[in-house]
Structure 1
Amino acid sequence: MFAKATTNLVSEIDAGGSLIAVLRLNDSDKLSPLALVIKRNRFWFWQRPKYLPTGFTLNDLLTGDQTIEPVVKVSDFLKYSGTFGDKKGGSLETGVGVANVALEGRSSSKLQSSFGSLRKEELDVRKLLQDSKDKRLDLEHDLMEQVRERRRRVCGLVKERVSTVQECVVCEEVEDSGTCSGLLSVLTPAKIKVSVKQSGNLEYDSNVSLTIPADTTLLYSIIELEVKTKGQYELCLLQDLEGGFESDSDSVDTVEKGELITVSMGTVHSHKGPLLTDLEGVHRQLSPLACETAGTRTALLQRLSELMEEQVARDHVEQALEDLCSGVTPDLGSLGEDLKAQVTSFLQLLPRADTTHTHTHTPLLTATHLLVSALDEMSDEALSALSALSCCSPLVLQALQQLVLKLASEGACSPIDPALAQEEVFQHVERLFAASAVNLIREAGTLKTGGGVLTGHLPLVMGIAVTGLAALGGSG
């Protein structure tokens, strides 16, 4: 719930900007100005970076007795509020993104949703720049050694953070049933609502609630470091500059620094390339999935359907697969027993892939990593719709793949495949496309997109996921 609330806040106030949502409440106190955050650039060019708070500050990593006293400006940021509600047995006109959607349902709630007043703390970067002259990082510090050992890792410092001023409550309310017309076809199964506690009292009707204390970090931004071979460092002052380790600058790994691309699809594609061209490369990359036995494909499809609803396990499976594809043995020792068993059991589904050694990199391993990475990049709403479709017949998955290709090449598909035309199935298709930033329009037996031919990051991720699942669900 906390991650959904902070992610929604970023999308409302700084979509495409530099602010990063705090995804775990436990990380909040690790994000004071000058705190060290590791940016993990990803394996595939279309993956967004992940940010890992460390609990260390810049001063913890400086050599000798050197320290830097940060100068921080504190100011009021904004007041975030809104009203949410629906009426029992009635309807409500509300907004979802840029679209208006008519809702009907049997549940009833009305709640003033608000984080209240938010405070911003901003580091004086000019002062930090002056204080950083002649300072050096201890490259023999355990954390620095571990970061340098792992590829595609960049060190960053928290330069600003946005936090709560007063206590507030995040509530998750599950809708029992409902229908929806317009851009979407069914109600989202859960709503995340946030409300400030006034005088210690709050009235709400919710299945689950989480109290967020005052002074909890919700959002932050970082300034990346370019670390020299002897420990000197430079601040990347421009937003389009990326940090890294100078010692890795000659690495053959093209995603170590700079523009993220992938060379494993046969030809190098920039992220600005045509979606259809990328999907054709994706189809070749995922083809090993279709060559496995029916038993292996069924087991993988079942486990992937479960991972769509298990974010933590999905994250660790994706990381283990990335390690194997990068020639690194996965480190599962820090995982709890249940989580370790989940990751291990998934890896054991991959025949001829000895996941205890790094020299047995197989096309199946790469294909599985590509598919899991796409699933890990999708929103909860998109995964919910895709999970429902993956439980349908193989014909549905094959028809869905063809629909994506048609929309990517022509922007329209006619006639609608009978496997997708069933009302219950089509509702999930609409949900999937809407959650992937595609306005799907159905007119006289034709499906087309509101913006013409499919383009962009989210449609590509959806296309990868659909292609991979269709390969597993095929009869080959």
Structure 2
Amino acid sequence: MFQSATKKIVSEIDPDGYTLFPVKSPYHSQNCKQLHLLIKKKKSFFSRRESYVPTPFTLKDILIDGQDLDFGSSSSIIACYSEAFSTSVSAQVGVDSGHVDVGGHISGSSSKAMSCVEMRKHTISERTLLDVVKDGKVNRQHRFVKEMKNNMVYVILDVIETEQACSVNNSAKAETGMQFLMKLLKMEAELSASRERKLTFPAGTSIAYKVSEMMISSSDTLELDWVKSFSRSARVTTFDRKEPLAASLAELTEMCADKKPLFLNVIFEILRHSDSLVVLDELLDPIMNDLQPDFQVLDQTEEDNRVCVEKMLDLLGIRKEIPPGEPLALTAESEGIIRAINILIQSLSEMDAETLILLASSVKAEITSKQLQLVTIIDDKWSGGIQYLRAFKEGEEDPEKVLITQLTDEEFEITQHMLEEFGFQLDRESASLLRIKDRKQQDIIALFAAVYALNALCD
């Protein structure tokens, strides 16, 4: 809920997304302050921007005699923001096919309200930074510097904070039921979730920050990286991104049949407690960089979210009792599964809570395979790369039209609601996929990864 709120605020005050990074968790707020240092993460499949992890270390800490330096910060009120939002979706599923009767109901609703948020911006100019550190020397023996993989230093100069306490109220409810009757066999499965959440931001909570990149020179002084390109976050990817994603998620397809339901059940819990996604991403991402995760984040996590996270860690064979500094004892198979689950968690983190409800409903309605084919078509047509108009041979049917035609009215409604978040809609009359006019398109690749992974676990 915290990340959803900060992302929404940042999208309003920095719509182009070139300058500000939203704070992901209240746990990070204390380290997202001016002069705090960041660790640059490997770029995610789902982000065209850089990503950083805040640390408790500051620029002053790594400079010899840095504690005596005055960087001269300025501050000003920049904006007020408030929001009220509600949505609902419902569907009935009924199919009679010979000896098999399938019936189901899917419904979901959510509402969100954010009190007026008055924000203050604290700024240190890059010119001031240069003037202050021009004679300073970096302490090469400092713990942070010794663990750096290169000579690049990432430091927070600008921070946007709440001026006064504010709150976010979020309620979500989802119900999904499927009943299968096959001759004398009867199986029933139910998913029900109801959540009423209220989160209060105290005054001084960091909402977003701006990053400056510096280089440690051969003489151990700091210099700004003037070569960085502001256009890189907007560059277009022209290669097929689905192939490497599918390869990384292949471990879920090959997972033994008795494990898949266990993972799927925990993922359903995570979909109902979306705040756990931030915590899981925080714990799994260091493992991908051969680092031990910081299990202290669990101590700052609410009970429901913590339980979800711990269940997933247990399934992945990650024990929080491992002494600090010791490497995780992982097999090649477990590393592959962790990598696949990490990608799934990252993809789900890109989505709204309403979409997570629809994903859970889609799994229960057994339509993820159809949705995967539709999302693949969308990415092929509108990914930003070269588009090819395929000519169909006589008698050959357009797979896009075939898929949409095969969707029942209820399946169509569920899929339609899901695609709307990403700026697309299904047209029933023409059996085609369309872009929504005057709507900013979100990258569909995150939905591809989520549906691919969930479909793999359902096989």
Q: Deviations over 1:15-44 (max 9, x none)?
A: 213112233345445444323333433454
Shift, 1:10, TM fit: 0.8
Shift, 1:129, TM fit: 0.7
Asked if 1:293 is matched to 2:256, the reply is: yes
Q: Deviations over 1:156-208 (max 9, x none)?
A: 2222222333443433355899xxxxxxxxxxx999xxxxxxxxxxxxxxx65
Q: Distance in 2 between matches of 1:124 and 1:473?
A: 52
Partner of 2:208: 219
The answer as to whether partners of 2:170 and 2:197 remain within 8 angstroms in 1 is: yes
Partner of 2:135: 134
Partner of 2:401: 414
2:368 alignment partner, one of 391, 397, 406: 397
Asked if 1:279 is matched to 2:268, the reply is: no
Q: Give the secondary-structure state (helix, strand or coil) at the position aligned to 1:139.
A: coil
1:428 alignment partner, one of 414, 435, 446: 414
Q: Deviations over 1:362-390 (max 9, x none)?
A: 65554444334323343433323212212
Q: Distance in 2 between matches of 1:334 and 1:22?
A: 15
1:307-386 to structure 2, matched below 5 A, reads 307-311=270-274, 313-318=276-281, 321-328=284-291, 332=295, 335-336=298-299, 341-348=310-317, 356-357=328-329, 360=332, 363-386=336-359
- Describe the shift of the 1:259–1:450 C-alpha distance in structure 2 as closer, same or farther (beyond 3 A): closer
Q: Give the secondary-structure state (helix, strand or coil) at the position aligned to 2:76.
A: strand
The answer as to whether partners of 2:110 and 2:171 remain within 8 angstroms in 1 is: no
1:172 alignment partner, one of 166, 170, 173: 170
State the AA in 2 paired with 1:408.
D
Q: Distance in 2 between matches of 1:389 and 1:376?
A: 18
Partner of 1:441: 426
Q: Distance in 2 between matches of 1:466 and 1:153?
A: 39
State the AA in 1 paired with 2:261.
T
Q: Distance in 2 between matches of 1:259 and 1:456?
A: 15
State the AA in 1 paired with 2:144.
L
Partner of 1:248: none
The answer as to whether partners of 1:36 and 1:156 remain within 8 angstroms in 2 is: yes
- Describe the shift of the 1:391–1:226 C-alpha distance in structure 2 as closer, same or farther (beyond 3 A): farther
Partner of 2:105: none
Q: Deviations over 1:241-292 (max 9, x none)?
A: 79xxxxxxxxxxxxxxx999xxxxxxxxx96125xx3224433443343233
Shift, 1:345, TM fit: 1.4
The answer as to whether partners of 2:372 and 2:448 remain within 8 angstroms in 1 is: yes
State the AA in 2 paired with 1:306.
E
Identify the structure with bigger relative contact order (alpha carbons < 8 Å, sequence gap 6+). 2
Shift, 1:445, TM fit: 5.9
- Describe the shift of the 1:419–1:348 C-alpha distance in structure 2 as closer, same or farther (beyond 3 A): farther
Gaps of 5+ in 1: 87-104, 178-188, 192-206, 243-257, 261-269, 350-354
- Describe the shift of the 1:301–1:10 C-alpha distance in structure 2 as closer, same or farther (beyond 3 A): same
Q: Give the secondary-structure state (helix, strand or coil) at the position aligned to 1:290.
A: helix
- Describe the shift of the 1:5–1:64 C-alpha distance in structure 2 as closer, same or farther (beyond 3 A): same
Q: Deviations over 1:27-82 (max 9, x none)?
A: 44544432333343345474754433333332222124663211223333234356
Q: Distance in 1 between matches of 2:150 and 2:144?
A: 15
State the AA in 2 paired with 1:170.
V
Q: Distance in 1 between matches of 2:110 and 2:278?
A: 33
The answer as to whether partners of 2:111 and 2:170 remain within 8 angstroms in 1 is: no
Q: Give the secondary-structure state (helix, strand or coil) at the position aligned to 2:68.
A: coil
1:220-235 to structure 2, matched below 5 A, reads 220-228=209-217, 231-235=220-224
1:257-268 to structure 2, matched below 5 A, reads none
TM-score of the aligned structures, taking structure 2 as reference length: 0.69
Partner of 1:14: 14
Q: Give the secondary-structure state (helix, strand or coil) at the position aligned to 1:342.
A: helix
Partner of 1:236: 225
The answer as to whether partners of 1:327 and 1:359 remain within 8 angstroms in 2 is: no
Q: Distance in 2 between matches of 1:176 and 1:358?
A: 36
Shift, 1:334, TM fit: 6.8
State the AA in 1 paired with 2:415.
V
Partner of 2:268: 305
Shift, 1:332, TM fit: 4.5
Asked if 1:464 is matched to 2:426, the reply is: no
State the AA in 1 paired with 2:259.
T
Report which stretch shifted further, 43-52 or 9-18: 43-52
Shift, 1:464, TM fit: 1.7
Q: Deviations over 1:213-257 (max 9, x none)?
A: 444432221212223466432223565279xxxxxxxxxxxxxxx
The answer as to whether partners of 2:405 and 2:431 remain within 8 angstroms in 1 is: no
Asked if 1:80 is matched to 2:77, the reply is: no
Partner of 1:252: none
Percent of paired sites with the same residue: 22
Partner of 1:163: 161
- Describe the shift of the 1:409–1:163 C-alpha distance in structure 2 as closer, same or farther (beyond 3 A): closer
Q: Distance in 1 between matches of 2:76 and 2:66?
A: 32
Shift, 1:448, TM fit: 0.8
Q: Distance in 1 between matches of 2:50 and 2:373?
A: 30
Please tell me the root mean square deviation across aligned C-alpha atoms, in Å.
Answer: 4.3
Count of aligned residue pairs for this structure pair = 388
Gaps of 5+ in 2: 88-107, 176-192, 300-305, 319-326, 383-398
- Describe the shift of the 1:231–1:421 C-alpha distance in structure 2 as closer, same or farther (beyond 3 A): farther
Q: Give the secondary-structure state (helix, strand or coil) at the position aligned to 1:415.
A: helix
Q: Distance in 1 between matches of 2:173 and 2:252?
A: 37
- Describe the shift of the 1:232–1:171 C-alpha distance in structure 2 as closer, same or farther (beyond 3 A): same
Q: Distance in 1 between matches of 2:54 and 2:121?
A: 19
State the AA in 1 paired with 2:254.
C
